[in-house]
Amino acid sequence: MNNIEYTIQSTQSTDELSIPGFSNQTKSILKISLVLLFYIVTNYINGKLIAVFFKHHIFHRNPRYILFMHIVLNDVMEISIAIFMHIWAEIVYIMPVSLCYFLMAIAVTTTYNTPLNLALMAVERYIAICKPLHHPNICTFRRTYIILNIIWLISFLSPASDLIIILNAEPMSFFSTKIICYSESFVRTYFLSVKRSCMSLTYFAVAWLTMAYTYIHIVIAARSVSH
């Protein structure tokens, strides 16, 4: 599904990593060290980009850079959740259901944010290239922030609907128990599994079709200008 689910599933058993001559504890330390190294390197690069954005105020009112910075911050949040859950799975293994759902809700929301943000960036470039006279009036920084809030709301629909289904399928005492924290832990009914698949397909299909449509028209506009 996404890199967070893959990360958590890959840590369900420390025995899955077979390294001759190493104990399970040593293998866990090695895995955590590699994950932390990846996290530090990735967030160092992202931190540089964030620092440049906030240092130069000219970027703050440009929709293109606002959307780019949003996807960077979104990735930082998504990776941070993934790293936290990975380390927790290696050290503690199980997690309170309430905490797991909270983390998974953020993880799923940020995962869906990425394709929607990319689609929005494609639309912004489409307007800038194909409708340049209307771009300053349509793509204002105020509207950009409003649309980003709408993206977060749309992305949150999936974990919110999951919670509604779980509340109807399980007693409240379920949230006082502990589970292995990964996405499939909350698939309590067949309908929930189907719902997740349909929503994922819808999100990514809309994003892909939007990007395909805008880039095709951008290419057509670029060719018409060159002739």
What local confidence, expressed as pLDDT, does residue 9 receive?
Answer: 46
What local confidence, expressed as pLDDT, does residue 29 receive?
Answer: 80
Residue-wise pLDDT tens for the chain (227 aa)?
Answer: 444 444 444 444 434 444 455 566 777 788 888 888 988 998 999 999 999 998 888 888 899 999 999 999 999 999 999 889 888 888 888 889 989 999 999 999 999 999 999 999 999 999 999 988 888 899 998 999 999 999 999 999 999 988 888 888 888 888 888 888 877 777 777 888 888 889 889 999 999 999 999 999 999 888 887 66
Helix (H, G, I), strand (E, B) or coil at 180: coil
- Domain range holding 44? 3-226
Residue 151 and residue 220: Cα distance in Å, rounded? Answer: 28
29: domain CATH number is: 1.20.1070.10
What local confidence, expressed as pLDDT, does residue 19 receive?
Answer: 47
pTM: 0.81
- Tell me how many domains the chain contains: 1
**Nearest CA to 89 among 170, 172, 186, 4?**
4
DSSP-assigned beta bridge partners for residue 95: 179
What local confidence, expressed as pLDDT, does residue 57 receive?
Answer: 84
